[in-house]
Amino acid sequence: MATIGGVCFIFNRNLFKMADSEGAEKVLFVFDFDHTLIDDNCDTYAMNVAPQLNLIEKVHEMRKEFTLWITMMNYVMKAQYEHGSKPEDVLRVMKEIDLIGPMKRTLEKIKEHPLVDAIIVSDANSFFIRAILENHNLADVFKTIHTNPACFNESGCLEISHYHAHCCTRCRKTPNMCKGLIMHSIAEERSTYSRIVYVGDGSNDYCAAMHLSPRDHVVARTGYGLAKRIAAEKPPPSFNVIDFTDPQAAVLLQSLMP
């Protein structure tokens, strides 16, 4: 365990030795989106398109009834559309969302690094993610974005679909997406990369982490669901734990690049 710039992180020395011995091989960075690349939840932030509707209270009521999250989001987008919102209003609100400082600097570094690829695995949706990234000129950083498809229908209302169906017991709360299943499919091209660095925050990132090999890194946001689940593991795995909001996070993440 070490502390750098007030950030506590745990590292596996063997992983760093392996990277040195294998030379300049490619590395794949896999990012969650909400509370990882942005310091917000873009789904709940989208309710600011028509804040006077106070949709957050309705969403809380629907959650008590175990309504699926995507069903709730489609309700939110339809309610705002019926109130008079247009696609440009949704885009305007998404452009208000900033990236976490260290994450933005890391993405800018990845953008110019020939030996690093990046993808997103997120339970948000394609329109929100792309709108935010394009606003920061970072959409072309990512090789692939695995997320729930979303597009405006002919009337101008945003509609969100499920990414896929699954039967993973770890991911019962997100029946529209199992991040572990996505990581399993990515593993098929694993020979392209010397290691994978998974960066996330939530409990639904845990399944993805469990599909990585010992040579990979999991970087978990301090105090959030993923870090807590990792801490509960006995014996604890040798994963990095970095606070994304600390200015030193960019330096630490870049140290994992070739």
**For all residues of the chain together, what is the average pLDDT?**
86
pLDDT at 227 over 60: yes
Distance CA 130, CA 36 (A): 15
pLDDT computed for residue 252 by the predictor: 85
pLDDT at 12 over 50: no
Rg (CA), the chain: 19
Span 177-186, mean pLDDT? Answer: 91
Helix, strand or coil, per DSSP, at residue 223: coil
Q: Is 43 annotated as a binding residue?
A: yes
Taking a C-beta distance cutoff of 8 angstroms, is the pair 42, 124 a contact?
yes
Which positions are catalytic?
32, 34
**Residue type at 237 in one-letter notation:** P
Domains and CATH numbers, the chain: 2-40+99-254 (3.40.50.1000), 43-94 (no CATH)
Distance CA 90, CA 157 (A): 10
- What pTM was estimated for this model as a whole? 0.87
pLDDT computed for residue 63 by the predictor: 82
pLDDT computed for residue 239 by the predictor: 63
Bigger pLDDT: 220 vs 246? 220
pLDDT computed for residue 60 by the predictor: 85
Q: Is 98 annotated as a binding residue?
A: no
Helix, strand or coil, per DSSP, at residue 17: helix
pLDDT computed for residue 189 by the predictor: 79
Cis peptide leading into residue 235 (ω within 30°): yes
Using a pLDDT cut of 70, give the percent of the chain over it: 89
- Band (pLDDT 50/70/90 cuts) for residue 17 is very low
Most confident of 9-18, 65-74, 131-140, 171-180: 131-140
The set of residues, in sequence order, having a beta carbon less than 8 Å from that of 82 and lying 6+ positions away, is none
Q: Is 32 annotated as a binding residue?
A: yes
Distance CA 124, CA 160 (A): 9
Q: Which two tokens stand for residue 211?
A: 């599909």
pLDDT computed for residue 125 by the predictor: 97
Q: Is 89 annotated as a binding residue?
A: no
Q: What is the full DSSP assignment across 62-109?
A: HHHTT--HHHHHHHHHHHHHHTT--HHHHHHHHTTPPBPHHHHHHHHH
Distance CA 131, CA 179 (A): 22
Q: What is the pLDDT of residues 108-159, one digit of tens each?
A: 999 999 999 999 999 999 999 999 999 999 999 999 999 999 999 999 999 9
Place of tokens 């992180």: 9
The set of residues, in sequence order, having a beta carbon less than 8 Å from that of 211 and lying 6+ positions away, is 180, 183, 184, 187
pLDDT computed for residue 179 by the predictor: 94
Q: What is the pLDDT of residues 49-71, one digit of tens each?
A: 999 999 988 888 888 777 789 99
Burial (CB count <10 Å: 0-12, 13-18, 19+), residue 33:
buried
Helix, strand or coil, per DSSP, at residue 163: coil
Taking a C-beta distance cutoff of 8 angstroms, is the pair 149, 125 a contact?
yes
Distance CA 125, CA 128 (A): 6
pLDDT at 8 over 50: no
